[in-house]
Amino acid sequence: MRTKVAIIGAGPAGLLLGRLLENAGIETVVLERRSADYVLGRIRAGVLEQGTVELLDKAGVGERLHADGLVHDGVEFCFDGDRHRFDFRALIGRTVTVYGQTEVTRDLMQAREFSGATTIYEAENVSLHGFDGDQPRVRYVKDGIEHELSCDFIAGCDGYHGVARASLPEEAIRTFERVYPFGWLGILVDRPPVADELIYAHHERGFALCSMRSHTRSRYYVQVPADEKVEGWSDDRFWDELRRRLGGETAERLVTGPSIEKSIAPLRSFVAEPLRFGRLFLAGDAAHIVPPTGAKGLNLAASDVGALAEALVEFYAERSTAGIDGYSARVLSRIWKAERFSWWMTSILHTFPDTDSFSRRIQRAEFDYIRGSRAAARSIAENYTGLPF
């Protein structure tokens, strides 16, 4: 089998890249080691930057997003019960949209299935070959039969633990990482959200986040130690802890119920450099991980594949390598800015094991500064809603 671009990974990054290339008349094959049901079963956040929404519209998959997504004009920060709302629309004229990553993936899957483009699920033993030359190949096993896919380029959109980055020689890539000493214990519940917009709360007991998936389904998180076990948290214990960290009228408004999903997500920052290796490109979680505090993971993946699609379209339309030659530097510039913002939000909102009275005073001073400075507020709005793609 032959195609122009082999895409490894059928998450939102791989499927969005495939859709953008398909719209430009560039043939792709997507390979995914899991089943379609497994991919759709992954619970992920879904705060979409305005640029991501625009890119999904460009891909032709924005109809349901606009019908069901929740447009948010701002976000609220709390510090020990003191609250401040950042009005994005008033500050910079931009918004974000809450629309679950599962739904983004579903929309992209359905569009690809409708068009008849090839996606191979449950592809086992995937291996990448020849990407340092001009004849890249992908080998895989499907239903016990070995296959080889020849292509012009390979896009590694297969996540942090995927085969794409692991296929590179150790000396070819440099990685940067910070692992945080805590995680987020999150629950999903079929109850109305406590507020119309997200609430990020700092408390001496730890961080808390009030989010949502719809007007009737809520997602809540509390900071827990990195070695915490989800089995130790009953629903009642979670709700009691969340109320303590929110305090005041927000805690009183909270509508509780039985969780329909409960898990602990570790927090880390990770970047790989460079992101192009001959005819292999890394994008999405294969290239970087951010703490969820700034809601950047899916949005960075979208900006990666948006840039990669532009570069590949330029190559096929004009036989120019300028875009693919500049891909790594272009996306890394945006990646590191998003990493900085996610690190900053994590630093101001969480309680660290070595946090002492001085450190908490510094965090408080930071909170007081950003709520009292229009320039600081505009910076938060600019970064949260998304830097230019």
pLDDT value for 42: 80
Q: What is the H or E stretch that residue 176 is in? A: strand 174-189
Would you kindly state where each structural domain of the chain is located, as residue ranges? 5-68+98-176+268-346, 180-267+351-385
Give residue-wise pLDDT tens across range 295-349. Answer: 999 999 999 999 999 999 999 999 999 999 999 999 999 999 999 999 999 999 9
pLDDT value for 46: 86
pLDDT value for 226: 94
Asked whether this chain's domains 5-68+98-176+268-346 and 180-267+351-385 adopt the same fold, the reply is: no
pLDDT value for 275: 98
Yes or no: say if 19 and 118 are a contact pair by the CB < 8 Å rule: no
Amino acid identity for residue 319 in this structure: R
CA angle 225, 229, 233 (to 5 degrees): 95
CATH no., domain 180-267+351-385: 3.30.9.10
Tell me how far apart the alpha carbons of residues 324 and 7 are, in angstroms, rounded to a whole number: 16
Tell me how far apart the alpha carbons of residues 107 and 32 are, in angstroms, rounded to a whole number: 17
Q: Please name the residues in contact with 23: beta carbons below 8 A apart, sequence gap of 6 or more.
A: 58, 59, 60
Please determine, looking at this structure, whether the domain spanning 5-68+98-176+268-346 carries the CATH number 3.40.50.970.
Answer: no
Q: Rounded to two decimals, what is the model's pTM?
A: 0.96
Chunk the chain into consecutive blocks of 10 residues (it has 389) and report each block's average pLDDT, rounded to whole numbers. Answer: 97 98 98 95 86 98 97 96 96 97 96 97 98 97 97 97 96 97 97 97 97 94 97 98 95 96 96 98 98 95 98 97 98 98 97 94 97 97 96
pLDDT value for 55: 98
Torsion angle of C-alpha atoms 280, 284, 290, 293, degrees rounded to 10: 170
Lookup: tokens for 169: 């020689």
Q: Which residues are catalytic?
A: 72, 200, 292, 296, 384
pLDDT value for 206: 96
Lookup: tokens for 3: 């195609």
Q: Please name the residues in contact with 312: beta carbons below 8 A apart, sequence gap of 6 or more.
A: 5, 21, 26, 153, 323, 324
For the chain, the straight-line distance linking the first and the last C-alpha, in angstroms and rounded, comes to 34
Tell me how far apart the alpha carbons of residues 83 and 294 are, in angstroms, rounded to a whole number: 18
Amino acid identity for residue 53 in this structure: V
Give residue-wise pLDDT tens across range 201-218. Answer: 999 999 999 999 999 999
CA distances in angstroms from 6 to 61, 162, 352, listed in the order given:
21, 15, 43
Tell me how far apart the alpha carbons of residues 25 and 127 are, in angstroms, rounded to a whole number: 26
**256-261 contacts at long range (C-beta below 8 A, 24 or more positions apart):** 256/189, 256/191, 257/189, 257/190, 257/191, 258/189, 259/187, 259/188, 259/189, 259/235, 260/188, 260/189, 260/190, 261/43, 261/186, 261/187, 261/188
Yes or no: say if 46 and 53 are a contact pair by the CB < 8 Å rule: no
